[in-house]
Amino acid sequence: MKVETNELGRSRTYQYDVLGNRTQMTDRNGQTRTFSYDGLNRLTSEQWLTSGGSIFRTIASTYDAASQLTGMSDPDSAYTYTYDGMGRLQTVSNAGTPTAPTVVLSYTYDANGNVQTVSETLNGTLSSVTTYAYDPLNRVAWLTQSGAGVQTKRVEYAY
């Protein structure tokens, strides 16, 4: 068990299994969460417990054969993740979230593997695109954002 105490004397405790996976956390407010893992030590569920120890929320995670996160869900939302042939994040979608507009983020990459664009669609309509440019050291040099309902902007970085 590991205990962290802040300057106000409030503690957060962690418990781990023999493989080093966090199995339980109790926060400074007394809220306890438990964590479960599959045979490859990938987090498969996070359960939030009432003060009486009953489960009131579960967050589930799924993975593909390459151990990439492919889905996360709880009672209020569901997200899916896809990857390109090089294992880079390609899309994030909340299409499984009831009563919410469907938002899909799509990623493209440059020849160096840097994120080149992030496109956001809202209910199937392109709403914004963020474009990134990099300096010779692969640091973000600038980005621009534009689209419907988004004020076009450019941000430049100096190092």
Q: How far apart are CA 86 and CA 107, in angstroms?
A: 13
For 85, other C-beta atoms within 10 Å of its C-beta total 6
pLDDT along the chain (159 residues), means of 10: 94 97 94 97 97 94 97 95 97 90 97 98 96 98 93 97
Q: Could you give the percent of the chain with pLDDT greater than 70?
A: 100
For every residue of 28-92, DSSP letters joined together read TTS-EEEEEE-TT--EEEEEEE-TTS-EEEEEEEEE-TT--EEEEEETTEEEEEEE-TTS-EEEE
Quick one: pLDDT at residue 137? 97
Give me the pLDDT at residue 80, please: 98
The domain 64-159: what is its CATH number?
2.40.128
Q: Is the dihedral of CA 90, 96, 97, 100 positive or negative?
A: positive
Q: Distance of CA 110 to CAs 77, 105, 156, Å?
A: 31, 17, 19
- The predicted pLDDT at position 149 comes to 74
State the Cα–Cα distance between residues 91 and 52, nearest whole angstrom: 39
The predicted pLDDT at position 51 comes to 86
Q: How far apart are the first and last CA of the chain?
A: 42
Q: What is the pLDDT of residue 99?
A: 85
pLDDT value for 139? 98
